[in-house]
Structure 1
Amino acid sequence: MGSAAKKDDEEEALHHQPLLVARKGLQVEEEENLGDLKRRVWVESKKLWHIVGPSIFFRIASNSMNIVTQVFAGHLGNLELASISIANNVIVGFNFGLLLGMASALETLCGQAFGAKNYHLLGIYMQRSWIVLFFCCFLLLPLYIFASPVLKLLGQPDDVAEQSGLVALWFIPLHFSFAFQFPLQRFLQSQLKTSVLVWVSLLALVVHVFVSWLFIYQLHFGVVGAAIALDVSWWVLVFGMLCYTICGRCGETWTGLSIQAFSGLCEFLKLSAASGVMLCLENWYYRILILMTGFSNDTKVAVDALSVCMSINGWEMMFALAFFAGTGVRVANELGAGNGKAAKFATKVSVVQSTIVGVAVGSGWQTWVAYINVGCYYLIGLPVGIILGWIFHLGVEGIWGGMIFGGTALQTIVLAMITVHCNWEKEAEKATMHVQKWSSPSPNSQPSIKH
């Protein structure tokens, strides 16, 4: 009886053995897949943070120079702080957003060219960007020259408008530095040469603190000294990155000045303009909010309060902008190499780690994002801010609430939904065709002029 029961147990064990083996095999396979996923996430995270980490430091240091200027101006008086805030955040800020957005076209072009191993194109793209942005700087000069009458026309008090107009004139050298600094930064980021950004920005910040102290407290130049200090510091950024680029540290991507930079400028201008509209619509939204506070009862205090809030928020935004740049470069690199799945995986890792999408730049979706920015910020965010600020009498708090919840949050949700439903293989095919098109030599091209 015992032997029969034992025999039945053995037969039952043999019957279930294939199932147990299958389950064990499935478990091993799942563990291997999980291990492979962890390894891929780790590798992608290292690639992402190789860009994001230095980018965060660079942006925080650059933004800190603006804040240091506001701190020094605040010690001069409320009028001086208000004039620096309006000149820097409104006049310079309007142009900053447009030029920064136009330079973002390089994140698409340089990132995809680097992924496709067409290294020589990066230097040509950067030179084209220099030409386009420098030309735009001249077109934007009237905003600086006629800043005072424009601000008065927008309802700002005469003393604030006059002082802001004076500061705006002294910010013209800063304005022209954007034409070279923005393309240089994206040129270096796209080829993962990010450590130089840390050292250059640190040097510029130290120089800025010293020069601000010298011009304001020792030479007594007042608010003009604060503006000159900011001019000097931003040009330190330009010359630092330029020296690194042309002194042999970018041998494959910088082959000297090239006549090819003047070919294809029309198409380059179209892509740059689309990028500029995408970012400046978001950037201008914040500048409009500062102008709106000028209609309050105590203009100087209201502008000063909102400027301080935006400065603090600006530090936080530096993290988001760094992920924006890092994700754009990673997506562009993979799309340029024809790896649609890798681009999608890079997007997932970045979104999980940052909760912010910068993906649209790497893929070249600038035009679509411009429409989204108009809808979220101007059709929803701005009216909500006006309603909360004036109808519900919440003042600066209402304007700030409309900006955050009506504009920024909604834009993030919409972009996230678009990214999730994107066909990444199709985007990789488009990127490959894009690189091939732009890498085609011009019939009028000539050899580059090397240094």
Structure 2
Amino acid sequence: MGEEIQESLLQSSGKDLKVRILDESSKVWKVALPGVLARFSSFGSLVITQSFIGHLGSLDLAAYALVQTLSVRFVNGILIGMSSATETLCGQAFGAGQLHMMGIYLQKSWIVNFSILTILLPVFLFGGFIFRLLGEDENIAQSAGYASFWFIPFICSFVFLMTNQMFLQAQQKNQIIAWLSILQFTIHVPLSWFLVNLLNLGTAGAIGALGISSWLVVFGEFVYIFGGFCPESWTGFTTAAFKDLWPMVKLSVSSGVMLCLELWYNAVLVLIAGHMKNAEISISAFSICANISLWVLMITLGFFGAAIVRVANELGRGDAKAVKFSIKVILTISFLIGLFFWSTCLIFGKNIGYLFSEEKEVAEAVSDLSVLLSFSILFNSIYPILSGVAVGAGLQGTVAFITLFCYYIIGIPIGALLGYGAGLQVKGIWIGMICGVIAQTVSLSYMTWRTDWDEQVTKAEQRLKRWYLKSSTESNPISDHT
């Protein structure tokens, strides 16, 4: 009799676990799928632009790769990182039921991002001069300076693009983001063909199409937010957005540093590749592989966003156990997707290069990196989730230190040593990059395991109370349970 009761309890426990997993998976996919579609389509526009420019010639491709991997990633890394503070605050506010605060956080983020972009614009205005100072080939530097100028409209769109998306995603209204991003990709391909092939505008046409399609997404987000589709979280413009900006700046800077250190990692390695033999081939091949890796990473970043939202929401609700369970579910889903793309890249890696260049040397160099590329894709399915967990909890500063050590003290020196000292060239650089990623993955796993989530619940409550403002319909002070 006792054995039957025990067996019944085990079956019941198993069923409860399955229900919990399915329920959590549903919540994760609700946030992640639109995020995956949005990021995959958005970054896909960059890859499509690279493909159009790659067929113009190896010099144009090398120049575009230099600007997109160094300048664009440098500035985008800062702006995306600064914007991720919006996701932390909006996610926790949504979990605590403080919906009207989300619009205030959004406006604060616009102010901070616009100020930062104003400071960073010279990176594009004086692109050619900067690349010469970095020791790049004169022809590549001159062509890159021209491309830099045409990237300015695209960069300006990021002041609003990412903050709007994070504002919507935090309240699980990100279906509109997915539709707008798919529309962007759908428009970008024929628009690029029209400007590059039909009007023969070359690099200017390809990058110009990128700017136009990006601003279409921004305007679509504005229409959705201001048009009454977020009635509780957007209550109009307010001067409260200008008050107490410093705490927002500090959290934004922590987020910015965290993501910048990750995004600049590839940029530094591309810079190293530019000083090797056959600089055009080295830069082009490394950039193509990096963009393929990053394009697949956009899928993982959908789950990165889901990790931020789920962790922030549950911390806002005060449920530490739900946080830990959600982390396990998201990691499992993302890793299984990573295994699929790892195997796909191993099978088709030999022919990838010809999609981006007709140059045989470039395609062969890409093929030579395909095995290393596949393992990069596999590791990329893990560490972004752990970074998302940190952002959701407001632990960006800790992740920044981990990333700094793993990438810049371990990864880059190993890559430079193998690339130059061992004569492995671009392959040596990529091996160094993987070493940095492995070190970061192990460190973030340990940090997540050691985190006291009950303590993080308390910190989330304190943060929300500090910035809380009453809504126009509220008469009572914030309750203790929030």
Shared fold by TM > 0.5? Answer: yes
2:316/2:460 contact within 8 Å kept: yes
The answer for the alignment partner of 1:368 in structure 2 is 398
The answer for the alignment partner of 1:241 in structure 2 is 221
1:388/1:394 contact within 8 Å kept: yes
The answer for the alignment partner of 2:313 in structure 1 is 333
The answer for the alignment partner of 1:177 in structure 2 is 157
Structure 2: distance between partners of 1:93 and 1:74: 19
Q: 1:9-408, aligned counterparts within 5 Å? A: 21-355=1-335, 356=382, 357=386, 358-404=388-434, 406-408=435-437
Structure 2: distance between partners of 1:212 and 1:31: 57
Letter in 2 for 1:403: M
Aligned residues: 421
Letter in 1 for 2:429: I
Q: CA deviation at 1:408?
A: 1.1
Structure 2: distance between partners of 1:441 and 1:78: 58
Structure 2: distance between partners of 1:322 and 1:408: 19
Q: 1:401-416, aligned counterparts within 5 Å? A: 401-404=431-434, 406-416=435-445
Structure 1: distance between partners of 2:436 and 2:470: 43
Q: CA deviation at 1:437?
A: 1.2
Structure 2: distance between partners of 1:300 and 1:407: 25
For the pair 1:439 / 2:439, whether they are aligned, the reply is: no
Letter in 1 for 2:246: C
Structure 2: distance between partners of 1:203 and 1:350: 27
Letter in 1 for 2:461: T
Q: CA deviation at 1:258?
A: 1.2
Q: CA deviation at 1:282?
A: 0.9
3-state SS of 1:76 partner: coil
Letter in 2 for 1:364: G
Structure 2: distance between partners of 1:202 and 1:28: 48
Q: CA deviation at 1:195?
A: 1.1
Q: CA deviation at 1:22?
A: 2.0
Judge which range, 240-249 or 376-385, deviates more.
Answer: 240-249
Q: CA deviation at 1:441?
A: 5.7
1:113/1:122 contact within 8 Å kept: yes
2:101/2:469 contact within 8 Å kept: no
| TM-score, length of structure 2 as denominator length | 0.86
Q: CA deviation at 1:87?
A: 1.4
Judge which range, 83-92 or 266-275, deviates more.
Answer: 83-92
Q: CA deviation at 1:319?
A: 2.0
The answer for the alignment partner of 1:7 in structure 2 is none
Q: CA deviation at 1:52?
A: 0.9
Letter in 1 for 2:448: T
Q: CA deviation at 1:320?
A: 1.9
The answer for the alignment partner of 2:454 in structure 1 is 425
Q: CA deviation at 1:352?
A: 2.2
Structure 2: distance between partners of 1:31 and 1:384: 51
Task: Percent identity, please.
Answer: 42
Q: CA deviation at 1:396?
A: 0.8
3-state SS of 2:55 partner: helix
Structure 2: state its 5+ residue gaps: 336-381, 472-482
Q: CA deviation at 1:376?
A: 0.4
Write out the 4+ residue segments of structure 1 that deviate beyond 4 Å after TM superposition: none
Alpha carbon RMSD of aligned pairs, Å?
Answer: 1.2
Q: Output one character per residue of 1:272-327: Cα deviation in whole Å (capped at 9) or x when no partner.
A: 00000011011111101111111012111111101110111012211221111101
Indicate the structure (1 or 2) with the bigger Cα radius of gyration: 1
Structure 2: distance between partners of 1:354 and 1:419: 16
Q: CA deviation at 1:260?
A: 0.9
Structure 2: distance between partners of 1:227 and 1:307: 17
1:170/1:224 contact within 8 Å kept: yes
Letter in 1 for 2:454: E
